[in-house]
Amino acid sequence: MNKYQIAQKKPLTPEITQISVYAPLVAAKAKAGQFIILRVSEEGERIPLTISNAENDLVTVIYQKIGGTTLALDELNEGDCLHDFVGPLGVPTEVEDLGRVAVLGGGLGCAIALPVARALHQAGNQVDLIGGFKTKDIVILEEEMSKACTDLHICTDDGTYGYHGFVTGKLEELIAGGVKFDHVFAIGPLMMMKFACKLTEKYNIPTTVSMNPIMIDGTGMCGCCRLTVGGEVKFACVDGPDFDGHKVDFDEVIARNATYKEFEAKAKEKHLCRLGGGAMNG
């Protein structure tokens, strides 16, 4: 098999795809919470993607088609090769015997919550994995998540499957029912992590958040993933991506992150126009 060859490609939803890339050196060292940086082509941009699984010389990542690079990535098929695939990067999630823990995953964040829950479960913890999605049709990795925890709780915003409501609602329901969590890990959209931390702070439960949503360059050079943690400036890609959620200034991060959405939308539009032009000219 060639270096960085896509060995497996599997669509999980119309917008989310899973690929497994042949990268033996990365697979041998990867730990829960770490990420890779890839380039589709020599002229392409670098993007960080969290490692969902690593075994048998293959590294699995999951991406959502939201910008030009992920659309270009999705044009590749099994047998095609990536130009670059570097990792593992970032500080691994601290995995220890904590007792009973809850791992919250929001949407695509479930792809990152999966290896964290698996590692915690293998370390002897009782793990409640709470996965949240907008609706039943876009639930991903349910079978894999069920094997990576003690109890799996699927939540949908519209109530079409599992618990009707947000992951924070399910977490509070469990706490109100008498469950005593020793630690909570929240992984997903910034707003979800913010409100998860507000909830756990109320119950005095230590909480770790993964700030991968704000990573762009992946090396700390661009500075876009800077955040304030306990009054100090940190960089998600080199100091994290895991941080004490009760010390993160989420309002600052959310406000700055919103400024990149317009750029991402323009990159996606440009890519789609190129595809359309190619089709008309070809």
- Is 224 one of the annotated binding-site residues? no
Provide the pLDDT confidence category of residue 280 given band limits of 50, 70 and 90.
very low
More confident residue, 258 or 268: 258
Q: Which of 40-49, 57-66, 206-215 has the lowest mean pLDDT?
A: 206-215
Task: Identify the burial level of 251 via C-beta atoms within 10 angstroms of its C-beta, where 0-12 means exposed, 13-18 middle and 19 or more buried.
Answer: exposed
Q: For residue 85, is pLDDT > 50?
A: yes
- Is 222 one of the annotated binding-site residues? yes
pLDDT at 276: 55
pLDDT at 135: 94
pLDDT at 171: 96
Single pTM value for the model: 0.84
Same domain, 85 and 106: no
Residue 192 within any structural domain of the chain: yes
As a whole number of angstroms, the distance between CA 8 and CA 58 comes to 9
Q: For residue 93, is pLDDT > 60?
A: yes
* Number of structural domains the chain divides into: 2
pLDDT at 218: 55
Q: For residue 198, is pLDDT > 90?
A: yes
Q: CB count, 10 Å around CB of 158? A: 11
Same domain, 127 and 184: yes
Q: Hey, CA dihedral for 165, 213, 21, 19, is it positive or negative?
A: positive
Q: For residue 97, is pLDDT > 70?
A: yes
Which of 55, 89, 123 lies at the terminal end of a domain, its last residue?
89
State the CATH number of the domain containing residue 179.
3.40.50.80
Alpha carbon separation from 83 to 22, 38, 61, 183 (Å, rounded): 12, 7, 16, 39
Task: Identify the burial level of 223 via C-beta atoms within 10 angstroms of its C-beta, where 0-12 means exposed, 13-18 middle and 19 or more buried.
Answer: exposed
Which of 42, 57, 89 lies at the terminal end of a domain, its last residue?
89
Q: For residue 223, is pLDDT > 90?
A: no
- Is 63 one of the annotated binding-site residues? yes
More confident residue, 78 or 259: 78
Stated as kind and residue range, the H or E segment containing 47 is: strand 47-55
3-state helix, strand, coil in the chain (%, to 5): 35, 30, 35
Token pair for residue 122? Answer: 């293998």
Residue 118 within any structural domain of the chain: yes
Same domain, 132 and 39: no
Per cent of the chain over pLDDT 90 is 60
Q: At what angle do helices 167-176 and 190-202 cross, to 10 degrees?
A: 20
Q: For residue 77, is pLDDT > 80?
A: yes
Q: Do residues 141 and 58 make contact, with C-beta atoms less than 8 angstroms apart?
A: no
As a whole number of angstroms, the distance between CA 222 and CA 71 comes to 22
Same domain, 171 and 80: no
Q: Average model confidence (pLDDT) for the chain? A: 87
Same domain, 204 and 104: yes
Q: Do residues 141 and 111 make contact, with C-beta atoms less than 8 angstroms apart?
A: yes
pLDDT at 69: 85
Average pLDDT over residues 98-108: 94
Nearest CA among 120, 117, 119, 94 for reference residue 104: 117
Q: H helices of 53-189, where?
A: 68-74, 110-122, 142-147, 167-176
- Is 149 one of the annotated binding-site residues? no
Q: Do residues 193 and 168 make contact, with C-beta atoms less than 8 angstroms apart?
A: no
Q: For residue 269, is pLDDT > 60?
A: no
State the CATH number of the domain containing residue 20.
2.40.30.10
Same domain, 112 and 199: yes
- What residue numbers bound the domain in which 158 lies? 100-210
Residue 226 within any structural domain of the chain: no
- Is 197 one of the annotated binding-site residues? no
Which of 89, 108, 127 lies at the terminal end of a domain, its last residue?
89
Q: Hey, CA dihedral for 105, 108, 110, 116, is it positive or negative?
A: negative
Q: Do residues 263 and 54 make contact, with C-beta atoms less than 8 angstroms apart?
A: no
pLDDT digits (tens, 9 = 90+) for 7-41: 999 999 999 999 999 999 999 999 988 999 999 98
pLDDT at 103: 96
Q: Which of 14-28, 57-71, 191-205 has the lowest mean pLDDT?
A: 57-71
Same domain, 66 and 113: no
Average pLDDT over residues 212-230: 69
Residue 230 within any structural domain of the chain: no
